[in-house]
Amino acid sequence: MSRKRITVLGATGSIGTSTLDVVARHPERYEVVALSGHQRIAELAELCRRHRPRYAVTGTAVAAAELAGLLCDCAPQVEVRYGEAALATIASLPEVDAVMAAIVGAAGLGPTLAAVKAGKQVLLANKEALVMAGGLFMAEVARSGARLLPIDSEHNAVFQSLPAHFAGNLNASGVRRILLTASGGPFRNASPETLRNVTPEQACAHPNWVMGRKISVDSATLMNKGLEVIEAHWLFNAPADRIEVVVHPQSVIHSLVDYVDGSVLAQLGNPDMRTPIAHALAFPDRIDAGVASLDLFQIAQLTFERPDLDRFPCLALAYQALRAGGTAAAILNAANEVAVEAFLERRLAFTDIPGVITGALERVPLIAAANLDAVFEADAAGRRAAHEGIRRAA
């Protein structure tokens, strides 16, 4: 069996390192062709030494020079490049079979789209590709014949729980609705009045998952789940009123599909991203991911709650943006990124994040997301409006 050749975009992040952990368990199945990392150059150098890619890409020329220096004695020699064009190149190399798209934020949209246009198997962990430009992205998937496999644990669970022949028609497959589970984050039981003084350290202390700082804050506000609702709309051609969020604190059931005959199918597992990564890497086969088997006797019970939109207004904002259509989701995403960054830098209170996003959605004109220029213009306008909102909140 020939080895599957992969590019990992965002190799130094949590998804990237988990991907490479799974890959390292199966050297007979996978070959790493290219890796990218933005700022963690020493970590990227170590990954290059361990996995021996042909190419490594950084964000800047300075970072590339630093990486090249660290790898000067590495054999075989790794070719170091930098910048957006280089990311698009390693995402679309003719010799690459699959691309793990795990660059966080809007920066991941370009190279992920390049992989789709090249007809690759795309393991999608970058939310923004669908949140910002879902219609354009899915149209390109259909045109190029790329195979899209979701990596988010929730969307991967839905994918596994849908019929094998599912082709984007919920009614034809007998699907009543999609149920996305949410842990509720670290503040699930906190009273709203106590949240203003939340620190970045508290917001990033997720009870179940080990994640990056930005996505941890999004989980604490439930914006992460709101973005996943938008993703699910595009991935599964599901309208907003057929996607429901269920708070499930144990994070054992990763999502469910409710069928018209009364059946509800779910995917369960320990909260470890290597499970959906291994599923997508080997699809349609199954491989060892290094994840322990689920012990139902130890878990003992599973509980479910409706999300509290007073405590988590960001979830309601995401539904609002999805229903509004056009560039609303791009504005939402941009404003959220700016607001979360300000919170992590202690320039904005935790409870002011939804207000900044609301202000951006109200001030930035909504237009059709007809092309990437419109999407990026909306992204830039959303960021400007968010910065203005942060100044007002200070």
Instruction: Say what the pLDDT of residue 39 is.
Output: 84
Tens of pLDDT, residue by residue over 320-343, are 999 999 999 999 999 999 999 999
Question: What does the block give as tokens for 97?
Answer: 């079979």
Average pLDDT, the chain: 94
Alpha-carbon distance 108 to 97, whole Å? 19
**Closest Cα partner for 32 from 15, 18, 50, 45?**
50
Q: Is the pLDDT of residue 212 over 80?
A: no
Sign of the torsion angle spanned by Cα atoms 378, 381, 385, 391: positive
Domains of the chain: 4-150 (3.40.50.720), 159-271+308-393 (1.10.1740.10)
Instruction: Say what the pLDDT of residue 362 is.
Output: 97
Instruction: Say what the pLDDT of residue 153 is.
Output: 94
Paired sense of beta strands 243-247 and 79-82, if any: unpaired
Q: What is the chain's length?
A: 394
Cα→Cα distances 143→91, 117, 137, Å: 17, 8, 10
**Spatial contact of 343 and 314, defined as CB atoms under 8 Å apart:** no
Q: Is the pLDDT of residue 211 over 90?
A: no
Q: Is the pLDDT of residue 70 over 90?
A: yes
Tens of pLDDT, residue by residue over 221-246, are 999 999 999 999 999 999 999 999 99
Instruction: Say what the pLDDT of residue 248 is.
Output: 95
Percent of the chain with pLDDT over 70: 98
**Spatial contact of 50 and 58, defined as CB atoms under 8 Å apart:** no
Alpha-carbon distance 139 to 83, whole Å? 26
Instruction: Say what the pLDDT of residue 294 is.
Output: 94
Question: What does the block give as tokens for 349?
Answer: 């209170």
Q: Count Cα neighbours of 181 within 13 Å in the Cβ-side half-sphere.
A: 26
pLDDT bucket at 387, cuts 50 / 70 / 90: very high
Instruction: Say what the pLDDT of residue 208 is.
Output: 67
Instruction: Say what the pLDDT of residue 262 is.
Output: 98
Paired sense of beta strands 253-259 and 55-58, if any: unpaired
pLDDT bucket at 7, cuts 50 / 70 / 90: very high
Instruction: Say what the pLDDT of residue 190 is.
Output: 85
Instruction: Say what the pLDDT of residue 194 is.
Output: 86
Tens of pLDDT, residue by residue over 241-274, are 999 999 999 999 999 999 999 999 999 999 999 9
Alpha-carbon distance 208 to 298, whole Å? 15
Bond before 284 cis per omega within 30 degrees: yes
Alpha-carbon distance 77 to 158, whole Å? 41
β-sheet with 4-9: strand ranges across? 79-82, 55-58, 30-36, 4-9, 98-101, 121-124, 147-150
Please report, in angstroms and rounded to a whole number, the separation of the first and last CA atoms in the chain: 60
Alpha-carbon distance 141 to 133, whole Å? 12
Instruction: Say what the pLDDT of residue 310 is.
Output: 82
**Closest Cα partner for 280 from 30, 91, 106?**
30
**Spatial contact of 219 and 185, defined as CB atoms under 8 Å apart:** yes
Q: Is the pLDDT of residue 209 over 80?
A: no
Tens of pLDDT, residue by residue over 168-207, are 999 999 999 999 999 988 888 888 888 888 999 998 887 7
- pTM (2 d.p.): 0.92
Alpha-carbon distance 31 to 42, whole Å? 22
Percent of the chain with pLDDT over 90: 83
Alpha-carbon distance 228 to 332, whole Å? 13
Q: Is the pLDDT of residue 393 over 90?
A: no
H helix intervals, the chain: 14-24, 41-51, 61-70, 84-91, 109-117, 128-144, 153-161, 200-203, 213-221, 223-236, 274-282, 296-299, 313-324, 328-344, 353-363, 372-393
Q: Is the pLDDT of residue 360 over 80?
A: yes
Tens of pLDDT, residue by residue over 100-111, are 999 987 788 899
Query: Over the Cα atoms of the chain, what is R_g?
Result: 20
pLDDT bucket at 142, cuts 50 / 70 / 90: very high
Tens of pLDDT, residue by residue over 374-384, are 999 999 999 99
Q: Is the pLDDT of residue 386 over 70?
A: yes
